[in-house]
């Protein structure tokens, strides 16, 4: 059901948690700007991986995705997205989720910076045999409203070397 952003926001502020969440997501789908995502680079922390292991890992995380983003009443971005990339082992990694970014404008320029979080379902062959699993990660961006360079960071997952400590760089472009 297509509704105005004001009506969707009013619906998002009333009812149960489920109803509020559904109204918020419906608002993004119905009123958000359509976007394309392009992935290109995954930096692996040099102190987390051995030189030998780094030579084996793929840092060209090419990928493509799509989504919708809405600038909410607070001036922040809320997104729904899906993204498929080539992971560190050159296998497919699929992600679908929600992102929230607090956005700040750089004075006297159209440039803005953002920082926030994403919650998603991710699927990788090397984790749980490819069964989607939940993941929450930080995100950051710099750019203009319709085009941003973005980053997300997977922290080191244990005290053992060779797990996590990966910075994924990607871009988000509005499609009109």
For residues 151 and 139, give the distance between their C-alpha atoms in angstroms, rounded to a whole number.
Answer: 6
Kindly indicate the confidence band of residue 127, based on its pLDDT and cuts at 50, 70 and 90: confident
Report whether pLDDT(157) > 80.
Answer: no
Q: What is the dihedral of CA 152, 138, 33, 24, to 10 degrees?
A: 150
Q: Note if 7 is an active site residue.
A: no
The Cα–Cα gap between 24 and 32 comes to 11
Q: Which one from 44, 79, 152, 165 is the annotated catalytic residue? A: 44
Q: Which of 39, 77, 79, 87 is catalytic?
A: 87
**CA gap 29, 16 in Å, rounded:** 20
Catalytic residue among 79, 88, 141, 152: 88
Q: What is the mean pLDDT of residues 88-117?
A: 96
Judged against a pLDDT cut of 70, whether residue 152 lies above it is answered with: yes
44 catalytic per annotation:
yes
Q: Mind listing the domains of the chain with CATH numbers?
A: 1-31 (no CATH), 33-174 (2.40.160.20)
Phi and psi at 46, nearest 5°, equal -70, -25
Mean pLDDT of all residues in 93-118: 97
Q: Tell me the whole-structure pTM to 2 decimals.
A: 0.86
Distances (CA, A) of 54 to 49, 115, 163: 6, 28, 12
Distance CA 65, CA 172 (A): 9
Annotated catalytic residue 26: no
- State pLDDT tens for residues 51-90: 999 999 999 999 999 999 999 999 999 999 999 999 999 9
Average pLDDT estimate for 100-122? 97
- Cα–Cα distance for residue pair 9/47, rounded to 1 Å: 45
């Amino acid at each position: 059901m297509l509704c105005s952003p004001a009506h969707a926001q009013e619906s998002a502020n009333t009812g149960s948690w489920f109803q509020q969440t559904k109204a918020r997501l419906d608002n993004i789908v119905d009123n958000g700007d359509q976007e394309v995502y392009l992935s290109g680079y995954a930096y692996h922390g040099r102190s987390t991986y051995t030189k030998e292991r780094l030579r084996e890992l793929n840092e060209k995380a090419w990928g493509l995705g799509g989504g919708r983003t809405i600038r909410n009443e607070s001036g922040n971005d809320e997104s729904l997205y899906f993204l498929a990339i080539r992971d560190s082992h050159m296998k497919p990694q699929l992600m679908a989720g929600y992102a929230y970014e607090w956005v700040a404008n750089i004075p006297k320029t159209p440039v803005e910076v953002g920082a926030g979080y994403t919650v998603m379902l991710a699927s990788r062959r090397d984790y749980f045999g490819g069964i989607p699993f939940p993941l929450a990660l930080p995100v950051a961006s710099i750019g203009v409203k319709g085009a941003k360079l973005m980053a997300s960071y997977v922290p080191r997952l244990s005290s053992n070397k060779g797990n996590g400590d990966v910075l994924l760089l990607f871009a988000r472009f509005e499609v009109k």
